[in-house]
Structure 1
C-alpha cells in the first residue's frame, strides 16, 4: 500500500516582524547588561532571518500606543511580561483560527477529497493548551463527520510534525480508506521575553508563528496532482544533549532552553541518527556509509532550527549548498516556527518544478531529548 501526503499547505498570521527592527527593540530594553546587548546584536544579526510573523499585532513598532497592550508598550518601546494565563488565552484565541485556515487550505488543494471523507484528525502544537482542543475546533468548523477520530500531539517540540505524519501513515496502512487531516500550529511569539539569559536571547531571535497542514491517505492521486509518498520514518535520541534543549512552563510563559552546544551535537550525531531511516534500502544505506548520501537523495527538508544547525547538517552529511536552499529560505522568510517549520520546507520542495517525479526527499527535525525525527519521501506528480 502506498500512502501519500497530499494538499500540503501553510499559513501565517498577517503581522510581519522585520528582524532588524525587532533586534533594535530587544537591544534597547532596560536592565540589559552590556554582555546581553552584545548577545542580542550577535544572535539577531547572524540568525539568517529577515522576517517572521506573529499573531500579536501590538508587537509592531509603528502606529499609535495601545491602551490595552499586554506584550509591548509602543510609547515606551518596552517589552512587557504578561503571565502564562494571558499568553495561553491568546493562544486559544489565535490558534483556533490558524488551525481552521490551514486545514481548510489542505482540503481545498485536493478537490477529490471532501470534508465528509476525513476519518481522522491529528493536531500538533507545543506553544499552548486548551480543551476542547484544536482537534475539536477543526472537526466542528470544517464540518467533519461526527464520528471523526481525533488525536493531539502536544508539547513535543520542533520535531512533532514527523511523528504526526508517521501516525497518520500507520492509520492509513491499517485502513485503506482512511483520510487523515494533519495540522500543526505554533504561536512561538506568545512566549517572547526580554532577558539577560543567553538561551532566552537566542530563542527570542529565532522563533515565529505559523501553521502547516496536509492530508495523508492511500487513495489514488488525481491527474496532475503533486504529492509526497511517505516511504519510512525513524526516531533516534542522541546519547548527549538532554539538558541542552528543553521547553518548560514558567509563571510568565513557556521557557526555552537552547544551549549553544545544540548545533554541534546535531552535527556529531546526525549520520547515526538517519542510518536506520536508510537501512531498508541498501543503495541508500551504502551511500551513507560511503559519504555519498547527497548524491543518492536529491532533496533535504532539514528543520532550520537556526542557521548554525543547518550549517552543521550540511557539513556532516556533505550536502550540496543547493540542497539546503529550501531550509535556508524558510528560515530567512519565517524564522523557526517549531513543529510547523518542516512542513514549510516540504511545501517549498514540492512546489519547485525542479523536483521531478520519483526523486527522493529526506526530512529531519530536532527537539528535546535531544531527539532526531526523520522521514524518507518520494516526489510524485
Structure 2
C-alpha cells in the first residue's frame, strides 16, 4: 500500500517529538550541572570574550583593504577603538571583581597533659561513675578498640572528676580555655593587634551560653565596638567550613581592608551521655577537646605573607530528606538522659551527601580530561543497555593534599575507598584521629597542621578540606599555597610529629 505524504509527515512529526523527549530526558539526567556552572564564568568573562569579535573584524578589514591610505585610516580607527575598549574592560574588571581572601595563619589548641584519657583510664572511670551497666561498658570498650583513637586524646577536666561535674561553669571554663589558648597562639604568631579584627565568626554546635561564645572573645580581647560578630550553633562537624564561607563572603564585600577570625570548637563538658543507649554512647568514645582559630584577610598586601589563598567553597545540604535530617540527632533516651544519637544509616547518608557535593564541586576543580570522561560515562550509561558503573573522577589530579574530617575510622575508610585515594592522602586524617580524636569542626585544621609539620606543602599545592555535619551536610573548601609553607610555632604536632605516622591496628 503506498504511503501518503500526510502519513509520512505524521511519522516524521512523531519521530521529532520522540527525539525531543529523549534529548530533554538526557539533559534532565545531567541536571544541566555543567551549563549552570558555566554560566557564571561566561558572564564574569563577558567583557574579555567580547574583545574577540573586535579583533577578528579588525584583521578582516585590514586584509580586505588594498589602498594603503585607507588601510592606515582603518587601522588607526580600529586600534583606537580596541585600545579604548580594552582600557574600559580592564578598569571595569578591576572595580567589579571579587576581592581575594587570604589565609594568613591558623592555630590549633593543644590541651594540657593531665587531661589525657588513655583507654584503660576511660573505661575504669566510666565504671566508677556508676552510670553504665556491664553491657554499655563492654560496648564502649569495643568501640574504643576499633575507633582508630590512640591513648593520648583529651577529655575536659570536669570529666576527670568522680563523679563528673558537667556544670555550666565547667563548660564555660572549657570553652574559655580552648578558645583563648588557640587565639593567644594565633595572635603571637602573626603579631596581630586584636583591635584590627573587623569580623569574628565562632561556631560550636552543642554549647551556646548567654552571653555567646563570640561575646566571650570580644570581652576577653577588648575588640572594637563596630566588629561584626557571629555565633553559629547546631551545625555539626562541618560548621568550620560554613564559618569560613561566611567570613569569606563578608570579606569579599567589604569596601575597606580588614581581618576576619574564625574560631571552630566543640564543648564536651555538658554533652557527655550518662545513659545506656548504644547509639548515644558512640560520641563519648570519639569526641575530644578541641579548638582552631583561623586568620583571614582581604588585604592585597597580605598576599606576600599569607600561607594560602581561598579558591572555592562548595556546600551541600541534604536536610530535606528525613533520614538524612535525623541521622545525627540530639535527644533524650527512654529514661530522660540527653545525648546525641548516631543512626546506623549514617555512612550511607554521608556517601550520598559526598556524591551530591562532588557533583557540584567536580566541574570547578577537575581538569578537562576528567570532565570529558565523566560526560562520556554519563552518555554511555544513558544510552547503553549494559550495566555500566559510574565513572569515579580522579581527584588526585586536582589536589595535592586531602583533609578529610576525622569523624571516625569508618568515615575515613569510606572516603579513601570511594575517592580511590592512596594511604598517604588519608594519613593526616588517620593520624589526627589517633592523636586528638574526633575534634569536630576543627579536625580539618589539625590535619592541615599535620601536613605542614611534615613539610609537604609546596608553592602552588592545592588542599581540599572536606567535612560532614548534622543536618545532614557535606561541605568542601579549597586552598592554594602561595609559597612553600612551614609550620607555625607552638603547633599541635610540634613535639610529636617525628613519631608519626604510626601503625593503627585493625
Report the TM-score, using the length of structure 2 for normalisation.
0.65
Deviation at 1:227, TM superposition (A): 1.7
Counterpart CA distance in 1 for 2:206 and 2:459 is: 36
Q: Which moved more, 1:176-185 or 1:43-52?
A: 176-185
Q: Is the 8 A contact 1:88 1:128 kept in 2?
A: no
> 5+ unaligned residues in a row in structure 2: which ranges?
1-98, 375-390, 484-506
Match of 2:243 in 1: 164
Q: Which moved more, 1:314-323 or 1:231-240?
A: 231-240
Query: Aligned ranges for residues 117-266 of structure 1 at < 5 Å?
Result: 117-175=196-254, 177-220=257-300, 225=305, 227-238=307-318, 239=321, 240-248=323-331, 255-266=339-350
Deviation at 1:259, TM superposition (A): 2.2
Deviation at 1:364, TM superposition (A): 1.1
Change (3 A) 1:188 1:25: same
Match of 1:278 in 2: 362
Q: Secondary structure of the equivalent of 2:355? A: helix
Match of 1:46 in 2: 146
Cα RMSD for the two superposed structures:
2.7
Counterpart CA distance in 2 for 1:100 and 1:164 is: 18
Q: Is the 8 A contact 1:33 1:196 kept in 2?
A: yes
Deviation at 1:269, TM superposition (A): 4.1
Counterpart CA distance in 2 for 1:179 and 1:363 is: 22
Cα deviation 1:216-239 (Å, max 9, x = unaligned): 112246698462221111121345
Change (3 A) 1:372 1:37: same
Counterpart CA distance in 1 for 2:229 and 2:433 is: 31
Q: Which moved more, 1:344-353 or 1:363-372?
A: 344-353
Cα deviation 1:194-213 (Å, max 9, x = unaligned): 43211122111101111100
Paired residue total: 359
Change (3 A) 1:118 1:223: closer
Residue from 426, 430, 437 that aligns with 1:328? 430
Q: Which has the higher strand share?
A: 1
Change (3 A) 1:233 1:57: same
Deviation at 1:215, TM superposition (A): 0.8
Q: Is the 8 A contact 2:464 2:478 kept in 1?
A: yes
Deviation at 1:57, TM superposition (A): 5.5
Q: Which moved more, 1:217-226 or 1:240-249?
A: 217-226
Deviation at 1:290, TM superposition (A): 4.8
Residue from 80, 95, 101 that aligns with 2:175? 95
Matched, 1:357 2:436: no
Query: Aligned ranges for residues 299-378 of structure 1 at < 5 Å?
Result: 299-378=401-480
Deviation at 1:44, TM superposition (A): 1.0
Q: Secondary structure of the equivalent of 1:106? A: helix
Q: Which moved more, 1:288-297 or 1:356-365?
A: 288-297
Cα deviation 1:110-145 (Å, max 9, x = unaligned): 23x422211111111113122222222212222322
Q: Is the 8 A contact 1:183 1:211 kept in 2?
A: yes
Q: Secondary structure of the equivalent of 1:257? A: strand
Deviation at 1:174, TM superposition (A): 0.8
Q: Secondary structure of the equivalent of 2:140? A: helix
Counterpart CA distance in 2 for 1:114 and 1:189 is: 31
Deviation at 1:30, TM superposition (A): 4.7
Change (3 A) 1:328 1:201: same
Counterpart CA distance in 2 for 1:194 and 1:145 is: 41
Q: Secondary structure of the equivalent of 1:340? A: helix
Q: Secondary structure of the equivalent of 1:300? A: strand
Change (3 A) 1:379 1:160: same
Q: Is the 8 A contact 1:271 1:316 kept in 2?
A: no
Q: Which has the higher contact order (CA 8 A, sep 6+)?
A: 1
Counterpart CA distance in 2 for 1:138 and 1:36 is: 38
Counterpart CA distance in 1 for 2:400 and 2:217 is: 35
> 5+ unaligned residues in a row in structure 1: which ranges?
60-68, 74-79
